[in-house]
Amino acid sequence: MHFEPEHPFERAIEVSESDIEFEFRGFDELAWSEFWLNPRQLRGSDFLMRWSQGVWSEERLVECLNAHGEFACYAYGPSGVAPTESVRDYELYFERLEKAGLGGVKRPDLLVFRRSDADEAEQIIKKLGGEAELPFIPETDPGIRELLAQAIVAIECENSLWVAKQMPAFGKQLKPMARLGGAMGLPKTAVLPTIILKEQDRGPLQAWEDAAGVPIHIWHSFYDLAYGISLSAVQSLIANGTVEPIEFTYQAPGGATTRKTIYKIYYLYTYPLGEALDEPMLKAQCITDKNGHILPYVTFEGGTMELKEDALNVLRKLS
Protein backbone atom coordinates (compact mmCIF):
# COMPACT_ATOMS: atom_id res chain seq x y z
CA MET A 1 0.00 0.00 0.00
CA HIS A 2 1.33 3.41 -0.99
CA PHE A 3 1.46 6.26 1.50
CA GLU A 4 2.30 9.90 0.87
CA PRO A 5 1.27 13.25 2.34
CA GLU A 6 -2.15 14.39 1.23
CA HIS A 7 -2.63 17.55 -0.76
CA PRO A 8 -5.71 19.49 0.48
CA PHE A 9 -7.40 19.16 -2.93
CA GLU A 10 -6.97 15.38 -2.90
CA ARG A 11 -8.19 15.22 0.68
CA ALA A 12 -11.30 17.16 -0.31
CA ILE A 13 -12.38 14.73 -3.04
CA GLU A 14 -10.81 11.44 -1.95
CA VAL A 15 -13.10 8.43 -2.19
CA SER A 16 -13.48 5.38 0.01
CA GLU A 17 -12.41 2.36 -2.04
CA SER A 18 -15.71 0.70 -1.11
CA ASP A 19 -17.49 3.55 -2.94
CA ILE A 20 -15.52 3.26 -6.18
CA GLU A 21 -18.04 1.80 -8.58
CA PHE A 22 -16.82 2.83 -12.01
CA GLU A 23 -13.71 1.60 -13.77
CA PHE A 24 -13.03 2.57 -17.36
CA ARG A 25 -10.88 0.03 -19.16
CA GLY A 26 -8.92 0.45 -22.37
CA PHE A 27 -7.36 3.78 -21.39
CA ASP A 28 -3.80 4.50 -20.47
CA GLU A 29 -3.17 6.10 -17.10
CA LEU A 30 -4.48 9.67 -17.39
CA ALA A 31 -1.97 12.21 -16.14
CA TRP A 32 -3.57 14.92 -14.03
CA SER A 33 -1.05 17.39 -15.41
CA GLU A 34 -2.50 16.90 -18.88
CA PHE A 35 -5.87 18.12 -17.61
CA TRP A 36 -4.88 20.90 -15.23
CA LEU A 37 -1.61 22.27 -13.90
CA ASN A 38 -0.36 19.71 -11.41
CA PRO A 39 1.44 16.39 -11.74
CA ARG A 40 -1.34 14.45 -10.06
CA GLN A 41 -3.32 11.80 -11.86
CA LEU A 42 -7.07 11.43 -12.15
CA ARG A 43 -7.75 7.70 -12.40
CA GLY A 44 -11.52 7.49 -12.46
CA SER A 45 -14.81 9.29 -12.72
CA ASP A 46 -15.63 8.55 -9.08
CA PHE A 47 -13.57 11.53 -7.92
CA LEU A 48 -15.32 13.98 -10.22
CA MET A 49 -18.72 12.62 -9.23
CA ARG A 50 -17.70 12.82 -5.56
CA TRP A 51 -16.76 16.46 -6.04
CA SER A 52 -19.97 17.27 -7.91
CA GLN A 53 -22.11 15.54 -5.29
CA GLY A 54 -20.35 17.33 -2.44
CA VAL A 55 -20.84 20.74 -4.06
CA TRP A 56 -24.48 19.98 -4.80
CA SER A 57 -25.36 18.64 -1.34
CA GLU A 58 -23.71 21.56 0.47
CA GLU A 59 -25.43 24.14 -1.75
CA ARG A 60 -28.76 22.41 -1.14
CA LEU A 61 -28.31 22.65 2.64
CA VAL A 62 -27.41 26.34 2.41
CA GLU A 63 -30.43 27.06 0.21
CA CYS A 64 -32.67 25.04 2.51
CA LEU A 65 -31.58 26.98 5.59
CA ASN A 66 -31.55 30.42 3.97
CA ALA A 67 -35.04 29.85 2.59
CA HIS A 68 -36.29 29.68 6.17
CA GLY A 69 -36.90 33.01 7.85
CA GLU A 70 -35.17 32.43 11.19
CA PHE A 71 -31.55 31.78 10.23
CA ALA A 72 -28.89 32.65 7.67
CA CYS A 73 -25.96 30.54 6.54
CA TYR A 74 -22.59 31.53 5.02
CA ALA A 75 -19.71 29.47 3.68
CA TYR A 76 -16.61 29.53 5.88
CA GLY A 77 -14.21 26.61 5.31
CA PRO A 78 -12.33 26.17 2.02
CA SER A 79 -14.55 23.41 0.62
CA GLY A 80 -17.57 25.65 1.17
CA VAL A 81 -16.13 28.74 -0.52
CA ALA A 82 -13.96 27.29 -3.28
CA PRO A 83 -15.22 27.93 -6.83
CA THR A 84 -17.82 25.41 -7.93
CA GLU A 85 -18.12 26.19 -11.65
CA SER A 86 -15.46 23.64 -12.60
CA VAL A 87 -13.17 21.15 -10.93
CA ARG A 88 -10.21 23.06 -12.43
CA ASP A 89 -11.12 26.25 -10.57
CA TYR A 90 -11.74 24.17 -7.46
CA GLU A 91 -8.26 22.67 -7.62
CA LEU A 92 -6.58 25.99 -8.32
CA TYR A 93 -8.22 27.44 -5.22
CA PHE A 94 -6.65 24.68 -3.09
CA GLU A 95 -3.33 25.28 -4.82
CA ARG A 96 -3.48 28.91 -3.73
CA LEU A 97 -4.41 27.84 -0.20
CA GLU A 98 -1.48 25.41 -0.12
CA LYS A 99 0.96 28.08 -1.32
CA ALA A 100 -0.28 30.38 1.44
CA GLY A 101 0.67 27.71 3.97
CA LEU A 102 -2.94 27.22 5.03
CA GLY A 103 -3.73 23.95 3.24
CA GLY A 104 -3.60 21.93 6.46
CA VAL A 105 -5.85 24.24 8.50
CA LYS A 106 -9.15 22.59 9.41
CA ARG A 107 -12.21 24.82 9.54
CA PRO A 108 -15.92 23.93 9.51
CA ASP A 109 -17.63 24.41 6.16
CA LEU A 110 -20.46 26.75 7.17
CA LEU A 111 -21.43 29.30 9.81
CA VAL A 112 -25.06 29.81 10.88
CA PHE A 113 -26.41 33.10 12.25
CA ARG A 114 -29.71 34.38 13.57
CA ARG A 115 -31.53 36.17 10.78
CA SER A 116 -31.45 39.33 12.93
CA ASP A 117 -27.62 39.19 12.88
CA ALA A 118 -27.30 38.30 9.20
CA ASP A 119 -26.85 41.84 7.91
CA GLU A 120 -24.05 42.54 10.35
CA ALA A 121 -22.37 39.22 9.55
CA GLU A 122 -22.62 39.97 5.83
CA GLN A 123 -21.01 43.37 6.30
CA ILE A 124 -18.12 41.81 8.22
CA ILE A 125 -17.63 39.23 5.46
CA LYS A 126 -17.60 41.95 2.80
CA LYS A 127 -14.96 43.91 4.73
CA LEU A 128 -12.85 40.75 4.87
CA GLY A 129 -13.03 40.40 1.08
CA GLY A 130 -15.97 38.01 0.72
CA GLU A 131 -16.59 34.39 1.61
CA ALA A 132 -13.93 33.06 -0.78
CA GLU A 133 -11.21 35.00 1.08
CA LEU A 134 -12.10 33.83 4.59
CA PRO A 135 -9.83 30.72 4.57
CA PHE A 136 -6.84 32.98 3.79
CA ILE A 137 -7.39 35.12 6.88
CA PRO A 138 -6.03 33.80 10.20
CA GLU A 139 -8.55 33.36 12.96
CA THR A 140 -6.57 35.74 15.15
CA ASP A 141 -7.77 38.54 12.83
CA PRO A 142 -10.18 40.92 14.64
CA GLY A 143 -12.67 40.69 11.78
CA ILE A 144 -12.78 36.89 11.94
CA ARG A 145 -13.15 37.01 15.70
CA GLU A 146 -16.03 39.46 15.34
CA LEU A 147 -17.68 37.18 12.77
CA LEU A 148 -17.35 34.09 14.98
CA ALA A 149 -18.79 35.99 17.93
CA GLN A 150 -22.03 36.39 15.93
CA ALA A 151 -22.32 32.74 14.84
CA ILE A 152 -24.59 30.36 16.76
CA VAL A 153 -23.19 27.14 15.26
CA ALA A 154 -20.57 25.96 12.77
CA ILE A 155 -21.36 23.15 10.34
CA GLU A 156 -19.11 20.38 9.04
CA CYS A 157 -20.75 18.98 5.89
CA GLU A 158 -20.56 15.36 4.78
CA ASN A 159 -22.45 13.47 2.10
CA SER A 160 -23.11 9.98 0.79
CA LEU A 161 -24.39 8.80 -2.56
CA TRP A 162 -27.14 6.61 -1.11
CA VAL A 163 -30.92 6.71 -1.01
CA ALA A 164 -31.25 6.50 2.77
CA LYS A 165 -34.76 5.06 2.83
CA GLN A 166 -33.70 2.15 0.61
CA MET A 167 -30.74 1.09 2.74
CA PRO A 168 -31.40 -2.45 4.09
CA ALA A 169 -31.26 -1.60 7.80
CA PHE A 170 -33.19 1.68 7.53
CA GLY A 171 -35.98 1.59 10.12
CA LYS A 172 -34.44 -1.30 12.11
CA GLN A 173 -34.40 -0.90 15.88
CA LEU A 174 -31.33 -1.12 18.12
CA LYS A 175 -30.80 -4.42 19.95
CA PRO A 176 -28.45 -5.54 22.75
CA MET A 177 -25.09 -6.47 21.17
CA ALA A 178 -22.64 -8.93 22.74
CA ARG A 179 -19.63 -7.12 21.24
CA LEU A 180 -20.82 -3.95 23.01
CA GLY A 181 -21.16 -5.69 26.37
CA GLY A 182 -24.94 -5.82 26.06
CA ALA A 183 -25.27 -2.19 25.03
CA MET A 184 -27.75 -1.32 22.31
CA GLY A 185 -26.54 -1.42 18.73
CA LEU A 186 -26.75 -3.17 15.35
CA PRO A 187 -24.63 -5.85 13.65
CA LYS A 188 -21.34 -4.61 12.24
CA THR A 189 -22.53 -5.52 8.76
CA ALA A 190 -25.73 -3.46 9.00
CA VAL A 191 -26.18 -1.09 6.05
CA LEU A 192 -28.02 2.04 7.17
CA PRO A 193 -27.63 5.82 7.05
CA THR A 194 -24.66 6.94 9.14
CA ILE A 195 -22.90 10.21 9.80
CA ILE A 196 -19.20 9.75 9.15
CA LEU A 197 -16.36 11.44 11.03
CA LYS A 198 -12.70 10.76 10.27
CA GLU A 199 -10.34 10.38 13.19
CA GLN A 200 -7.90 12.76 11.45
CA ASP A 201 -10.60 15.47 11.59
CA ARG A 202 -11.88 14.79 15.10
CA GLY A 203 -9.02 16.44 17.00
CA PRO A 204 -8.71 19.50 14.73
CA LEU A 205 -12.47 20.11 14.81
CA GLN A 206 -12.52 19.85 18.59
CA ALA A 207 -9.56 22.24 18.83
CA TRP A 208 -11.36 24.69 16.53
CA GLU A 209 -14.54 24.50 18.60
CA ASP A 210 -12.62 25.10 21.83
CA ALA A 211 -10.67 28.04 20.41
CA ALA A 212 -13.55 29.69 18.54
CA GLY A 213 -16.17 29.18 21.22
CA VAL A 214 -18.68 28.13 18.56
CA PRO A 215 -20.28 24.66 18.78
CA ILE A 216 -19.81 22.39 15.77
CA HIS A 217 -22.53 20.19 14.32
CA ILE A 218 -22.00 17.63 11.57
CA TRP A 219 -24.65 17.62 8.84
CA HIS A 220 -24.67 14.59 6.58
CA SER A 221 -26.69 14.59 3.34
CA PHE A 222 -27.98 11.58 1.49
CA TYR A 223 -29.82 11.60 -1.83
CA ASP A 224 -33.19 11.88 -0.08
CA LEU A 225 -32.59 12.69 3.60
CA ALA A 226 -30.15 14.59 5.81
CA TYR A 227 -29.23 14.17 9.46
CA GLY A 228 -27.32 16.22 12.03
CA ILE A 229 -25.50 15.71 15.32
CA SER A 230 -23.30 17.87 17.53
CA LEU A 231 -19.58 17.17 17.75
CA SER A 232 -19.93 16.96 21.53
CA ALA A 233 -22.55 14.20 21.16
CA VAL A 234 -20.25 12.31 18.80
CA GLN A 235 -17.38 12.60 21.27
CA SER A 236 -19.59 11.18 24.02
CA LEU A 237 -20.70 8.23 21.84
CA ILE A 238 -17.06 7.46 21.04
CA ALA A 239 -15.93 7.85 24.65
CA ASN A 240 -18.55 5.45 26.04
CA GLY A 241 -17.92 2.84 23.35
CA THR A 242 -21.27 3.14 21.62
CA VAL A 243 -19.53 4.13 18.38
CA GLU A 244 -16.50 2.02 17.47
CA PRO A 245 -13.54 3.00 15.29
CA ILE A 246 -13.43 1.39 11.84
CA GLU A 247 -10.49 1.12 9.44
CA PHE A 248 -11.23 2.18 5.86
CA THR A 249 -9.07 2.47 2.78
CA TYR A 250 -9.30 5.78 0.92
CA GLN A 251 -7.96 6.57 -2.52
CA ALA A 252 -6.91 10.03 -3.70
CA PRO A 253 -7.20 11.22 -7.33
CA GLY A 254 -3.46 10.59 -7.78
CA GLY A 255 -3.97 6.92 -6.93
CA ALA A 256 -2.35 6.99 -3.47
CA THR A 257 -4.20 4.87 -0.92
CA THR A 258 -4.25 5.41 2.82
CA ARG A 259 -5.80 3.54 5.73
CA LYS A 260 -7.90 5.86 7.86
CA THR A 261 -9.82 5.40 11.07
CA ILE A 262 -13.40 6.61 10.82
CA TYR A 263 -16.50 6.60 13.00
CA LYS A 264 -19.94 5.75 11.65
CA ILE A 265 -22.70 7.23 13.79
CA TYR A 266 -26.08 5.58 13.20
CA TYR A 267 -28.76 8.02 12.10
CA LEU A 268 -30.75 6.73 15.09
CA TYR A 269 -28.46 8.80 17.35
CA THR A 270 -28.93 11.98 15.30
CA TYR A 271 -31.66 14.53 14.67
CA PRO A 272 -33.56 14.65 11.35
CA LEU A 273 -32.22 17.61 9.39
CA GLY A 274 -34.00 17.65 6.05
CA GLU A 275 -35.95 15.69 3.46
CA ALA A 276 -35.88 16.06 -0.32
CA LEU A 277 -38.98 17.59 -1.88
CA ASP A 278 -37.87 16.79 -5.42
CA GLU A 279 -34.95 14.98 -6.96
CA PRO A 280 -32.02 16.61 -8.73
CA MET A 281 -31.28 16.12 -12.40
CA LEU A 282 -28.23 14.01 -13.22
CA LYS A 283 -26.34 15.44 -16.19
CA ALA A 284 -23.46 13.99 -18.14
CA GLN A 285 -20.23 16.01 -18.20
CA CYS A 286 -16.69 15.28 -19.25
CA ILE A 287 -13.21 16.70 -19.23
CA THR A 288 -10.81 16.24 -22.15
CA ASP A 289 -7.04 16.35 -22.03
CA LYS A 290 -4.76 17.93 -24.62
CA ASN A 291 -4.34 14.57 -26.36
CA GLY A 292 -8.06 14.01 -26.74
CA HIS A 293 -8.63 11.59 -23.84
CA ILE A 294 -12.16 11.96 -22.49
CA LEU A 295 -13.12 11.33 -18.87
CA PRO A 296 -16.92 11.32 -18.41
CA TYR A 297 -18.71 11.88 -15.11
CA VAL A 298 -22.13 12.80 -13.74
CA THR A 299 -23.09 16.14 -12.16
CA PHE A 300 -25.99 16.92 -9.85
CA GLU A 301 -28.27 19.88 -10.51
CA GLY A 302 -31.45 21.18 -8.90
CA GLY A 303 -33.53 19.47 -6.27
CA THR A 304 -34.82 21.07 -3.10
CA MET A 305 -34.87 20.03 0.52
CA GLU A 306 -37.23 20.92 3.36
CA LEU A 307 -35.75 21.70 6.76
CA LYS A 308 -37.15 19.46 9.51
CA GLU A 309 -38.75 20.91 12.63
CA ASP A 310 -36.30 18.89 14.77
CA ALA A 311 -33.41 20.75 13.17
CA LEU A 312 -35.10 24.11 13.60
CA ASN A 313 -35.62 23.36 17.29
CA VAL A 314 -31.90 22.51 17.64
CA LEU A 315 -30.96 25.83 16.03
CA ARG A 316 -33.46 27.73 18.17
CA LYS A 317 -31.96 26.21 21.29
CA LEU A 318 -28.46 27.14 20.15
CA SER A 319 -29.53 30.72 19.43
Confidence of residue 56 (pLDDT cuts 50, 70, 90): confident
pLDDT at 21 over 50: no
Mean of the per-residue pLDDT values of the chain: 82
Residue scoring higher pLDDT (104 or 284): 284
How confident is the model at residue 165, as a pLDDT? 96
Read off the pLDDT of each residue in 293-299 and give the average, rounded to a whole number. Answer: 76
pLDDT tens across 165-205, in order?
A: 999 999 999 999 888 788 888 988 899 999 999 999 999 99
Confidence of residue 229 (pLDDT cuts 50, 70, 90): very high
pLDDT tens across 74-112, in order?
A: 999 887 677 766 667 777 777 888 877 666 678 899 999
Geometric angle at alpha carbon 2, from 255 and 256, rounded to 5°: 20
Geometric angle at alpha carbon 109, from 104 and 111, rounded to 5°: 130
How confident is the model at residue 79, as a pLDDT? 74
Closest CA relative to residue 62, chosen from 51, 71, 53, 49: 71
DSSP result, 160-203? -SS-GGGSTTTTPPPEE-GGGTT-EE--TT----EEEEEHHHHH
Where are any strands of DSSP class E within 87-213? 110-114, 153-159, 175-176, 184-185, 194-198
As a whole-number percent, the residues of the chain with pLDDT over 70 amount to: 79
pLDDT tens across 104-135, in order?
A: 678 899 999 999 999 999 999 999 999 989 98
pLDDT tens across 244-276, in order?
A: 899 988 776 666 778 889 999 999 999 999 999
DSSP result, 260-279? EEEEEEEGGGSEEEEEEEEP
DSSP 3-state of 181:
coil
Residue scoring higher pLDDT (22 or 6): 6
pLDDT at 58 over 60: yes
How confident is the model at residue 29, as a pLDDT? 44
Read off the pLDDT of each residue in 238-247 and give the average, rounded to a whole number. Answer: 92
How confident is the model at residue 215, as a pLDDT? 98
How confident is the model at residue 173, as a pLDDT? 92
pLDDT at 31 over 50: no
Where are any strands of DSSP class E within the chain? 15-16, 71-75, 110-114, 153-159, 175-176, 184-185, 194-198, 216-221, 225-230, 245-251, 257-266, 271-278, 281-288, 294-301, 304-307
Least confident segment among 18-27, 231-240, 266-275: 18-27
